[in-house]
């Protein structure tokens, strides 16, 4: 059996202990294709106020990446305290010894450097935190931010996670991504040139894409030098532009059979040194419209493990 290098195995090999990511979602973060800098409305699969009247009525303060003013700082620090420690305490009971603070929601470099420094370093000061994983977009990083992360990486485990989604510009335009694939390639390569660890996010089942296109995205991400990959199916939730497309019959979600078959082919071209941080995703509540198989992550994982095992892979 070929053992897939999962994130758990990577950490066990590197740190000799069980390590868990702790997801953080902080007030104030947004995206440049939500606040209007590059586009409005966000990606078509992202819930936003254009399609959710209840959100539109809620006044929100978003961080301004060009201003050092951050009236939400104290609130954000409290959010880190609560979210990190509540989750860490839970996983300590399951044998995990150390943690990575995972800045997950929205675009977590889309803020002034002073704000990022305060938040990142506060998270790093939490008990048993050995590093950061920072989810972002390629159009929302700067050389200054990367250089700062390089300095942190001399003392901590630092990952930067880029949303690649697809390498086809027609797809990126259709999902209202707000940047092209060349931009993603450029900033992944810049990050790698500086010695940072890079994880690339890829979505299978995007509108208009066939299996060869999905595999081409994986191949290009490998070529660009990613250290880790996250792959998941596109699913439709309420209050999104994608939901409108789906309800009008303009978009057919990927089937579980097609997804798993494509995933297996992706593993056949994936180098064994690349860390696999995710193989599926979903949401198990009433906001999910389709595909229904994305409602139960455990059943997804069982099906994926069984299919991989039949091909000689141990996930």
Q: Give burial (CB, 10 Å; 0-12/13-18/19+) of 28.
A: buried
Question: Which tens digit of pLDDT belongs to each residue from 190-234?
Answer: 999 999 999 999 999 999 999 999 999 999 999 999 999 999 999
What's the pLDDT band for 21 if we cut at 50, 70, 90?
very high
Q: What does the pLDDT read at residue 48?
A: 61
Considering the domain delimited by 2-314, tell me its CATH architecture: Alpha-Beta Barrel (3.20)
Phi and psi (nearest 5°) for 313?
Answer: -110, 140
Residues 241, 176 contacting (CB under 8 angstroms): yes
Question: Which tens digit of pLDDT belongs to each residue from 73-122?
Answer: 999 999 999 999 999 999 999 999 999 999 999 999 999 999 999 999 99
Question: Which tens digit of pLDDT belongs to each residue from 22-43?
Answer: 999 999 999 998 888 888 888 9
CA-to-CA distance for 130 and 229, rounded, in angstroms?
21
Whether 173 has a pLDDT exceeding 60, the answer reads: yes
Question: Which tens digit of pLDDT belongs to each residue from 262-295?
Answer: 999 999 999 999 999 999 998 989 999 999 999 9
Question: For the whole model, what pTM was predicted?
Answer: 0.95
| Annotated domain spans of the chain | 2-314
Q: Is the peptide bond before 86 cis (omega within 30 degrees of 0)?
A: no
Q: How far is CA 126 from CA 99, 119, 152, 168, in A?
A: 9, 11, 15, 40
Other beta carbons within 10 Å of 67:
10
Residues 194, 150 contacting (CB under 8 angstroms): yes
CA-to-CA distance for 203 and 313, rounded, in angstroms?
21
Whether 56 has a pLDDT exceeding 50, the answer reads: no
Question: Average pLDDT, stretch 56-63?
Answer: 64
Question: Which tens digit of pLDDT belongs to each residue from 141-160?
Answer: 999 999 999 999 999 999 99
For the chain, the three-class secondary structure string (H helix, E strand, C coil) is CEECCEHHHHHHHHHCCCEEEEEECCCCCCCCCCECCCCECCCCCCCCCCCCHHHHCCCCCCCCCCCCCCCCHHHHHHHHHHHHHHHHHHHHCCCCCEEEEEECCCCCCCCCHHHHHHHHHHHHCCCCEEEEEEEECHHHCCHHHHHHHHHHHCCCEEEEEEEEECCCHHHHHHCCCCCCHHHHHHHHHHHHHCCCEEEEEEEECCCCCCHHHHHHHHHHHHHHCCCEEEEEECCEECCCHHHHHHHCCCCCCCCHHHHHHHHHHHHHHCCCCCEEEECCCCCCCCCEEECHHHHCHHHHHHHHHHHHHHCCEEC
Q: What does the pLDDT read at residue 128?
A: 98
- Please name the residues in contact with 97: beta carbons below 8 A apart, sequence gap of 6 or more: 17, 18, 19, 128
Q: What does the pLDDT read at residue 34?
A: 87
What's the pLDDT band for 49 if we cut at 50, 70, 90?
low
CA-to-CA distance for 251 and 244, rounded, in angstroms?
9
């Amino acid at each position: 059996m070929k053992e897939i290098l999962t994130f758990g195995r990577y950490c066990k090999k590197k740190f000799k202990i069980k390590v868990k990511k702790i997801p953080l979602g902080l007030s104030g973060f947004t995206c440049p294709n939500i606040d209007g800098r590059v586009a409005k409305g966000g990606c078509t699969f992202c819930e936003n106020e254009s399609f959710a009247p209840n959100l539109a009525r809620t006044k929100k303060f978003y961080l301004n990446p060009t201003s050092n003013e951050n009236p939400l700082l104290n609130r954000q620090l409290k959010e880190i305290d609560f979210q990190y420690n509540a989750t860490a305490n839970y996983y300590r009971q399951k044998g995990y010894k150390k943690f990575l603070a995972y800045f997950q929601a929205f675009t977590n470099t889309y803020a002034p450097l002073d704000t990022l420094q305060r938040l990142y370093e506060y998270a790093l000061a939490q008990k048993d935190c050995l590093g950061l994983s920072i989810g972002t977009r390629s159009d929302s990083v700067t050389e200054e931010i990367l250089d700062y992360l390089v300095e942190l990486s001399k003392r901590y485990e630092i990952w930067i996670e880029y949303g690649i989604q697809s390498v086809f510009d027609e797809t990126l335009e259709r999902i209202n991504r707000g940047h092209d694939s060349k931009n993603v390639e450029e900033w992944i390569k810049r990050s790698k040139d500086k010695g940072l660890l890079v994880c690339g996010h890829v979505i299978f089942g995007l509108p208009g894409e066939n299996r060869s296109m999905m595999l081409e995205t994986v191949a290009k991400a490998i070529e660009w030098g990613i250290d880790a990959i996250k792959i998941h199916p596109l699913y439709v939730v309420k209050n999104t532009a994608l939901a409108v497309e789906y309800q009008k019959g303009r978009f057919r979600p990927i089937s579980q059979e097609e997804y798993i078959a494509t995933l297996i082919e992706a593993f056949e071209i994936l180098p064994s040194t690349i860390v696999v941080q995710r193989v599926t995703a979903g949401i198990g509540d009433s906001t999910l419209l389709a595909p229904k198989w994305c409602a139960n992550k455990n059943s997804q994982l069982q099906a994926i493990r069984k299919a991989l095992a039949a091909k000689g892979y141990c996930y």
